[in-house]
Structures are given as structure tokens and as C-alpha cells.
Amino acid sequence: MEIIDQAIILLHSKLGESSAITTILTRNNGIIKGRLGNYYTRRDKGSIQPGNIVTIKWRARLSSQLGNITINDILKNNSHIIYQPLKLNLLNCLLSLLCNNLLENDPCFDIFQASHKLLEILADNNFTDKQKLLANYILFEVKLLNELGFGMQINKCIICGRPDKLVYISPKTGNAACLEHGYDYRDKLLTLPQFIVNNQFGNDILNDNNI
């Protein structure tokens, strides 16, 4: 069996003296793990670090086996992020979420696209506004929760059904409440950031008009 796909490198785990078990998120095939030969002795190891975007070939006799991964091309080298502490922290959070919450061999195209967009923002040296960086990361988490089946209902008030003046959200149910009906319960509710309301479920990249 063979898979050729675009992928985001998530994790390298040591295997033997020089090889690694590499975890990647592919565009069309979800999370895939495979043996990457001679990873720890490669001269180009810096270009295939977690967070980089590559094209890969994965090959195994059966789909249930741990196959071999070959890196064909480096599409985006994001290694410069390590020199920017906030972006590096957000990158590590992104990779950790993907590794720990997605099932292996379960296609998740929308999550790949959202991850790819967030990586583009983190890799952009001109994108330095801390508030916008954090807002984009939060929108990614909202998108991920929605794709995993834990979406928040933030398009209307859970009590009266009105779609405006949504300022609270329940930490237990993920449902939004308007100012009028949520005020008396404000001590038990969280403030709902307006950039989340204006950018429903993180479907689009956050822009200046959403903040």
C-alpha cells in the first residue's frame, strides 16, 4: 500500500540509533505514523522539523502496519519560528493538540486546512501582533472542538434564541447567552469574546475586521 500526500510534520520519536517514528498530519489521509530512516544522521534534519510542511510517500504491505516514510519535497520550512517565543509556544500547542486528539488513518481535511492556515500566520514575520496571534490560535481551537464533536452553540442565546448581544458562554454546555438573560448568572458564566462570535467556529482566518 502506498500513500503520496502533503503533510504537516508533528513529531519525531527515536527508533534505534539513527531512525525515527515520525507522526504526520496528511491532507487527505489524516494522522499517519511511519519509520523515517536515518533521521538523526541527516544533514537536512533542520528542514524536516515538527511544524514544517512537506510532501511524503508512505509505503507498507498492509494499511495496519507501521510503514516507511520518505520525504519527497520541503514545501515550507518554518524553523525560524523558534526565535519567536510566543509563536513557538503556539506552534507547540498546535502540534500537541493534533497529536493527542486525532485518530490515526482518519481523514480530517478541514482540520488540516485550519492547521495549515494557522502555520502560515505563525510563519509570517510581519504578523507580530500578540493579540491577533492569540485570537487566531483560539479560533483554531474552536474549529478543532467543532470538528471533534464538541462545538459551541454561539450563534444564538440558548434561553431566548436571539442572535445578538451574546456576551456570555456556559463553561459546562458551550452555549451562549445574551446580556439580558445571562446577567443574573454571570458569576457562573464566562465572558464570550466577540471575535469568536464574529468568526463563527473559526471557519475563516481572522482578519483586522474581526477584532
The pLDDT score that the predictor gives to residue 211 is: 42
Give phi and psi for 7, each to the nearest 5: -150, 155
Return the closest-CA partner of residue 128 out of 87, 77, 89. Answer: 87
Residue 65, C-alpha cell as written in the block: 502496519
- pLDDT of the residue at 63: 78
Output the pLDDT for position 171.
92
- Helix/strand/coil for 142: helix
Tell me the pLDDT tens digit for each residue of 13-68. Answer: 999 889 999 999 999 999 999 999 989 888 888 889 999 999 999 999 887 889 99
Residue 202 has pLDDT above 70, yes or no: no
The model's pLDDT over 159-170, given as tens digits with 9 standing for 90+, comes to 999 888 999 999
HSE of 105 in the Cβ direction (CA atoms, 13 Å)? 10
pLDDT digits 0-9 by tens, 147-156: 998 888 888 9
**pLDDT score for 46:** 84
Q: What pLDDT sits at residue 96?
A: 97
For residues 103-127, average pLDDT = 94
pTM above 0.85, yes or no: yes
